[in-house]
Amino acid sequence: MIHDTEADQRAHDRPPLDGLVVLDLSRVLSGPYAAMILGDLGARVIKVERPGIGDETRGWGPPFVGSGPDRTSTYFLSVNRNKESIALDFADDQDRVVLEGMIRQADVLIENFRTGVLDRLGLSHARLHELNPSLVVVSITGFGPDGPLAGKAAYDQIVQGYAGLMSLTGPVGVPSKVGLPIADLSAGMFAVIGALAALGAREQTGRGQVVHTSLLAGVVALHTFQGTRWLIGGDLPTATGNEHPTLAPYGAYRCADDRLVQIAVGNESLWCRLAETLDIDAADPRFSSNEDRRRHEDSLNEILENRFAERPAEQWVKELDDVGVPCGLIRTLDDVYDDPQVRSQGLVAEVDHPELGRLWVPGSPIRMSGYAPNAHQAPPRLDQHGSSLRRWASQAETDPVPTSDY
């Protein structure tokens, strides 16, 4: 049955996390990224920052946008949309009262302090639950909340190396980091998953809990088949450049116009279609199964390199697309953000910043049939919403969450 009433439309327009209040006490990337995802889904996110300085990524540049006191790094703008900002000094008694007032009314609190720092500030997880027993506390650390490295400082690249990811990435014999801060980003995504699970549990119990994840945990969780390759198969993975560790052919090949085309052959049907398109004998005993192709990968790659060098990249992509072989060009970000497919998926979002004007930022990767977001709010100026949030915090005992003053 199709519903088309005004009430149905209002329900469709209501964000899935509407009414949820998130306190973002985190900084840099993992926590702010998690909080932004929740904000994209409709939660009210309040970013708590240091007076005068704010999140240090405000100064991580170049590149910067704007000038003078409004100058902001593009790094900060990438992970702080759909948030309000208040500047608080945790050591100041009056600011501490404001913070505790907000904690009493929040549903989720996200922090990525090093293990033990919140305890020293008098804001242990136990204290947070004294203030608000229903609060879901999300704690993101570098290496985990306990164990021999619990207090160790962590940045993304350090964890990429420690967690083995760099040993799997880049050219053979050259350990390389991933071109994105994947340890931070994966921790942020797992933090969101944990937060939503804890909110679901709260529906049954009425009580909050502490959700732990870490940069180390995020990367190790992403090992997937590379992890079981070692744990179960006893085969220690190493870097293989653009080739796949278990499938062949699978990689990037240079074409007549010097551009690269990638192909991914994941089954025998695809191999036969690729072989026919490139005029290769699919039944050649060296290549008749994936295991054979892996064993003779050097010979196969030499043949493929010669074939792909005969025509321009776009022509190969069209021919391979026509027969259903997964393929694609290796592109730079200027091409990506101009791409009509990328824009059709809402992956480029427009925000209107009060000082910086119209900005374009990477959009949310989540689409839902029951919610169509109309607009995103620009990342906030430092303490942009301080006045209204202080008023709200002072009324924590009796008043409901007010409407945001965006």
pLDDT tens, residue by residue, 92-120: 999 999 999 999 999 999 999 998 899 99
What confidence tens digit (pLDDT) does each residue in 329-381 have? Answer: 999 999 999 999 999 999 999 999 988 999 999 999 998 988 877 688 999 99
Q: Is residue 46 part of a domain?
A: yes
Q: Is residue 1 part of a domain?
A: no
| Residue 8: predicted pLDDT | 53
What confidence tens digit (pLDDT) does each residue in 115-167 have? Answer: 889 999 999 999 999 999 999 999 999 999 999 999 898 999 999 999 999 99
Indicate if 191 and 272 belong to the same structural domain.
no
CATH (domain of 196): 3.40.50.10540
Q: How many CB atoms lie within 10 A of CB 28?
A: 19
Q: Is residue 335 part of a domain?
A: no
Indicate if 60 and 97 belong to the same structural domain.
yes
CA torsion sign for 78, 81, 87, 89 is negative
Judge whether residue 403 has pLDDT over 70.
no
CA-nearest of 108, 109, 140 to 123 is 109
Task: Count the residues in the chain.
Answer: 406
Q: Place 5 in a pLDDT band, splitting at 50, 70 and 90.
A: low
Q: Is residue 106 part of a domain?
A: yes
Indicate if 198 and 52 belong to the same structural domain.
yes
Helix (H) or strand (E) holding 367: none
Reading the block at residue 200, the tokens are 């679901």
CA-nearest of 92, 76, 91, 94 to 24 is 76
Catalytic residue among 3, 244, 296, 353: 244
Helix (H) or strand (E) holding 140: strand 136-141
| Residue 68: predicted pLDDT | 84
Indicate if 214 and 282 belong to the same structural domain.
no
Judge whether residue 63 has pLDDT over 80.
yes
CA-nearest of 205, 220, 13, 200 to 108 is 200
Q: Is residue 78 part of a domain?
A: yes
Strands 44-49 and 64-65: unpaired
Percent of the chain with pLDDT over 70: 94
Q: E strands within 196-309?
A: 210-214, 250-254, 260-264
Indicate if 174 and 292 belong to the same structural domain.
no
Judge whether residue 69 has pLDDT over 70.
yes
Judge whether residue 9 has pLDDT over 60.
no
Judge whether residue 401 has pLDDT over 70.
no
Indicate if 96 and 127 belong to the same structural domain.
yes
Q: How many CB atoms lie within 10 A of CB 115?
A: 19
Reading the block at residue 378, the tokens are 């620009």
Q: Is residue 235 part of a domain?
A: no
Domain carrying residue 266: 250-254+260-329
Question: What is the residue type of 267?
Answer: N
Indicate if 380 and 309 belong to the same structural domain.
no
Indicate if 54 and 201 belong to the same structural domain.
yes
Helix (H) or strand (E) holding 145: none
Percent of the chain with pLDDT over 90: 85
Q: How many alpha carbons fall within 13 Å on the CB side of residue 344?
A: 3
Tell me the whole-structure pTM to 2 decimals.
0.90
| pLDDT, averaged across the chain | 92
Q: Is residue 403 part of a domain?
A: no
Indicate if 184 and 218 belong to the same structural domain.
yes
Q: Is residue 95 part of a domain?
A: yes
Domain boundary among 279, 296, 329: 329
Residues 259-280 have a mean pLDDT of 96
Domain boundary among 329, 354, 381: 329
Reading the block at residue 265, the tokens are 């052959």
Reading the block at residue 369, the tokens are 């049939």
Indicate if 273 and 382 belong to the same structural domain.
no
Number of domains in the chain: 2
Q: Place 55 in a pLDDT band, splitting at 50, 70 and 90.
A: very high
| Residue 11: predicted pLDDT | 52
Judge whether residue 402 has pLDDT over 50.
no
Domain boundary among 307, 329, 351: 329
Indicate if 188 and 272 belong to the same structural domain.
no
Concerning whether 3 is annotated as a catalytic residue, the answer is no
Indicate if 281 and 375 belong to the same structural domain.
no
Q: Is residue 22 a contact partner of residue 106, using CB atoms and an 8 Å limit?
A: yes
